[in-house]
Amino acid sequence: MSLNAPASAIDPKTVEDAAALLRAGQLCAFPTETVYGLGADATDSDAVLSIYEAKGRPRFNPLIIHCSDLAMAETLAEFSPLARTLAKAFWPGPLTLVLPKRTGVALSDITTAGLSSVALRVPAHPLALELIAVVGKPLAAPSANPSGRLSPTSASQVRLGFAGRVPVLDGGPCSAGVESTIISVAGDTLTQLRAGALSREEIEALVGQQVLDPAKDAAITAPGMLLSHYAPNALIRLNADAANPGEAMLGFGKVSGTINLSPSGDLHEAARNLFAMLNQLDETGIRAIAVAPIPLDGLGEAINDRLERAAAPRG
Ligand code: AMP
Ligand code: MG
């Protein structure tokens, strides 16, 4: 359970109460038209890490970032004319757009899992829209359930799932009850990364072009077009006790390195530093990075999962 979540949460009674929690770097579940989201300030790495801790999520998936309107979304991503057409037609609504991230935005790299793209949506729920506007920041929010359990469509399901330890802004039952449709917009190509509450047909009817399916359409061959995973340029060697010649070393705890994810062996600190430090070493142009062993408990599972993906043979 999250370090940032109290043993027994007091639910916010108003949007202002919920916004105060989120502004203070805490979690708060909130209603959307699809399912309840477990929200955190998307610009605050520690807050976003609390989402992983609370859900017990074994992977750093990039999270969907919820905005109050198109103007907020445009501060975070590059909108092509095609992307803007989709946003104007279907927002607020159950459509998530995966777009190129703007450079220099304040988003936490935990929110985007180190990727150069972002997944954005404007939810069609008055409380969600008001909450994001009052917080004044984009909110990262996966479904408000422990990892591996069903997505909650009411506040009481959220309370049950987290045994009352996560505060919930109650907005009644969700109208859609299934997740948002995720569409990646890359140049002129639209690809459906997840089927959801908005049908492919509705999207195709609006834009007059086919929405590709990664599972079926052989046309999608370019690597990196799909759910690309963060990978540094340098080769990664895991569970190393020391650097070999030509390697930089990413340390953890007592295993020291060129830099250290957390000299005190704190997994939350290590997770917060993971992408930034890998990038820092990668940007030196080094050919290989050795990484100290990271224990598998708590956030360690997600850190190891991400490192294993970064170390996997490249296609
Ligand atoms: P959840 O957080 O459970 O609602 O799931 C969010 C979904 O959005 C996951 O399937 C992610 O892989 C996907 N997603 C989020 N950001 C990106 C991105 N930048 N590129 C591709 N997929 C993304
Ligand atoms: Mg989910």
**Residue 209 alpha carbon to ligand 2 centre in Å:** 29
Number of the ligand 1 atom closest to the C-alpha atom of 118: 19
In a domain, residue 230? The reply is no
**Residue 2 pLDDT > 50, yes or no?**
no
Q: Average the pLDDT over 198-214 and give the result.
A: 93
Q: What is the pLDDT of residue 315?
A: 56
First CA to last CA distance, the chain? 37
Residue-number span of the structural domain to which 247 is assigned:
235-311
**Which ligand ends up closest to the CA of 63?**
1
If one residue of 98, 139, 150 were mutated to test the ligand 1 pocket, choosing by the most ligand atoms within 8 A of its CB, it would be 98
Q: Are residues 174 and 72 both part of a single domain?
A: yes
Q: Average the pLDDT over 7-33 and give the result.
A: 95
Q: Are residues 200 and 241 both part of a single domain?
A: no
Domain count, the chain: 2
In a domain, residue 1? The reply is no
Q: Average the pLDDT over 248-276 and give the result.
A: 96
Q: Are residues 100 and 54 both part of a single domain?
A: yes
Q: Are residues 68 and 179 both part of a single domain?
A: yes
Read off the pLDDT band of 214 (50, 70, 90).
confident
In a domain, residue 219? The reply is no
Q: Are residues 159 and 51 both part of a single domain?
A: yes
Question: Can you give the CATH number for the domain in which 273 is found?
Answer: 3.40.50.11030
Is the entire prediction scored with pTM above 0.85? yes
Question: Can you give the CATH number for the domain in which 24 is found?
Answer: 3.90.870.10
Domain end, chosen from 190, 207, 224, is at 207
Residues with CB under 5 A from ligand 2 (ion): 143
In a domain, residue 48? The reply is yes
Q: Using CA positions, which residue lies closest to atom 1 of ligand 1?
A: 142
**Residue 281 alpha carbon to ligand 2 centre in Å:** 33
**Residue 181 alpha carbon to ligand 1 centre in Å:** 10
Residue 245 burial class via C-beta count within 10 angstroms: exposed 0-12, middle 13-18, buried 19 and up? exposed
